[in-house]
Amino acid sequence: MRYSKDYLFDLAFRFLRATGSDEGEASIVADHMIKANLRGHDSHGIGMIGMYTNYLKAGYLHPNTPPTLVKDKGSILQFQGNLGYGQRAGFEATAAAIARAKENGLCMYTIANCCHLGRIGTYGEMAADAGMVSIHFVNVNQYHPLVAPYCGSEARFGTNPFCVAMPGTDKYGMFVLDFATSIVALGKTRVAMLAGKKFDEPVIVDPEGRLTNDPNVMWQENPGALLAFAKHKGSGLCFACELMAGILSGGETIQPAHPRNDSIVNNMTAFVIDPAALCDLTFMRSEMEAMIDYVKSSHAADPVNNPVLMPGEPERIRTKDRLENGIEIADGEFNVIKKTCLDAGVDASLFA
Ligand code: NAD
């Protein structure tokens, strides 16, 4: 079934209001989730409310909790997330960093210990919308490690996402490179296992160190670990996210001396840069446009099904489709969303 973004926003907003969030927080978090659905990243969309309910009940997620500014050193802002909704902490901290970068040309900001930040590209898009360039390093603690280091067979990292965003040009939209540093997300291994499918390439390493495309390995008693993308390079970037986000934010790394309760806690270290402090904006736009033209002119083997796209473009294509035709949600997932909403006290007439 396909559902309109307004309907899904309404469900998410009412769920958040019913579970303790004030109007402002509910609006920010619901907007983040529904934009993730629109962009095609359903793993960070409205389907997250089931997990958030568990966290709320366990006291791992504190509604109505804004991030607090704990250090202000001009071009450095450090926030404590206080286990509030990461989407709110990310929104408020990024807005403050954009304002500071407009004054100083650059703002480095960190957020420690917020609950799930969601889709990191959202913060890149915020910066690019304001005419800024941004770079984001994120790590995950509290959740058990999922990703093996290069040549290792046991997990030592979260799926640590990385993002770089630049403002758009008249011809093309903004550049938004935003990905997890594992080849596939854990959720994708569950979907493949339930569907009885194997991956086309090895994406997992089993406890004996053998690479495998079998998703069951992630769900057996002694599970394997996800592989980082691009061998030592992706593993290195995952490691960099761990150190940059876990240490500079003060929120800690995933090393085993720290307790773990298997909720998702994120830390982020990010940079917002005003390009006008470095170069002429007309130069920037014309150079970007020429470079993107050049990249896209590379001959694609299958231009109809697999054209050369720029980072951010698949999300724009999916957003256009989903705005026009609705957001597709499988019945099984929608039933979980419905039950989560009804259990929270959301008006049943919304599901009539
Ligand atoms: P993905 O593998 O879909 O890659 C997305 C990136 O690749 C985007 O920048 C996209 O524009 C680009 N891209 C995709 N196809 C392309 C193509 N054909 N040509 C050019 N560029 C292309 O993303 P993912 O790794 O599955 O991550 C999904 C989301 O999960 C991200 O938004 C990430 O921030 C989020 N995430 C969050 C956490 C967290 O702890 N909060 C952890 C992991 C991932």
Domains for the chain: give ranges and CATH numbers: 183-227 (3.30.60.50)
Confidence at residue 332, expressed as pLDDT on a 0 to 100 scale:
87
**234 CB within 6 A, ligand 1:** no
> Is residue 188's pLDDT more than 90?
no
Q: In degrees rounded to 5, what are phi and psi of residue 207?
A: -60, -20
> Is residue 50's pLDDT more than 90?
yes
By the 8 A CB rule, do 161 and 146 touch? Answer: no
Check residue 131 and report its DSSP letter. T
Widest distance between CA atoms in the chain? 57
**140 CB within 6 A, ligand 1:** yes
Which residue type is seen at 238?
C
Q: Measuring CA to CA, how many Å separate 143 from each of 56, 112, 119, 265, 314?
A: 16, 15, 17, 7, 29
By the 8 A CB rule, do 225 and 153 touch? Answer: yes
Query: Which residue's CA lies nearest to atom 32 of ligand 1?
Result: 119
The band of 258, judged by pLDDT with boundaries at 50, 70 and 90, is very high
By the 8 A CB rule, do 105 and 71 touch? Answer: no
Check residue 195 and report its DSSP letter. T
Confidence at residue 117, expressed as pLDDT on a 0 to 100 scale:
97
Q: What is the mean pLDDT of residues 317-346?
A: 95
Confidence at residue 141, expressed as pLDDT on a 0 to 100 scale:
93
> Is residue 352's pLDDT more than 90?
no
> Is residue 37's pLDDT more than 90?
yes
> Is residue 276's pLDDT more than 90?
yes
Q: Which of 71, 123, 74, 125 is nearest to 103 (CA)?
A: 74
Please give the span between the terminal C-alpha atoms of the chain, in angstroms, as a whole number. 15
From 179, 226, 229, 318, give the residue whose CB has the most ligand 1 atoms within 8 Å, as the site to mutate.
179
- The mean of the pLDDT values for the chain is 96
Give percent of the chain with pLDDT exceeding 70: 100
Burial class of residue 333, CB neighbours in 10 A (0-12, 13-18, 19+)? middle
**342 CB within 6 A, ligand 1:** no
**242 CB within 6 A, ligand 1:** no
Confidence at residue 145, expressed as pLDDT on a 0 to 100 scale:
97
Give the distance (Å) from ligand 1 centre to CA of residue 215. Answer: 20
**Beta pairing class for 161-166 and 133-141:** antiparallel
d(CA 136, CA 297): 29
Q: Measuring CA to CA, how many Å separate 32 from each of 187, 221, 309?
A: 19, 35, 24
> Is residue 195's pLDDT more than 90?
no
Confidence at residue 192, expressed as pLDDT on a 0 to 100 scale:
85
d(CA 155, CA 149): 7
> Is residue 278's pLDDT more than 90?
yes
pLDDT tens digits along 140-151: 999 999 999 999
Confidence at residue 240, expressed as pLDDT on a 0 to 100 scale:
98
d(CA 205, CA 146): 11
The band of 18, judged by pLDDT with boundaries at 50, 70 and 90, is very high
Confidence at residue 256, expressed as pLDDT on a 0 to 100 scale:
96
Confidence at residue 186, expressed as pLDDT on a 0 to 100 scale:
87
Confidence at residue 316, expressed as pLDDT on a 0 to 100 scale:
98
> Is residue 191's pLDDT more than 90?
no
Query: Which residue's CA lies nearest to atom 17 of ligand 1?
Result: 309
Give the distance (Å) from ligand 1 centre to CA of residue 76. Answer: 27
> Is residue 89's pLDDT more than 90?
yes
pLDDT tens digits along 95-127: 999 999 999 999 999 999 999 999 999 999 999
Confidence at residue 194, expressed as pLDDT on a 0 to 100 scale:
79
Confidence at residue 190, expressed as pLDDT on a 0 to 100 scale:
82
For the chain, what's the residue count? 352
Give the distance (Å) from ligand 1 centre to CA of residue 117. Answer: 14
> Is residue 187's pLDDT more than 90?
no
- The pTM of the full predicted model, rounded to 2 decimals, is 0.97
Q: What is the mean pLDDT of residues 263-285?
A: 98
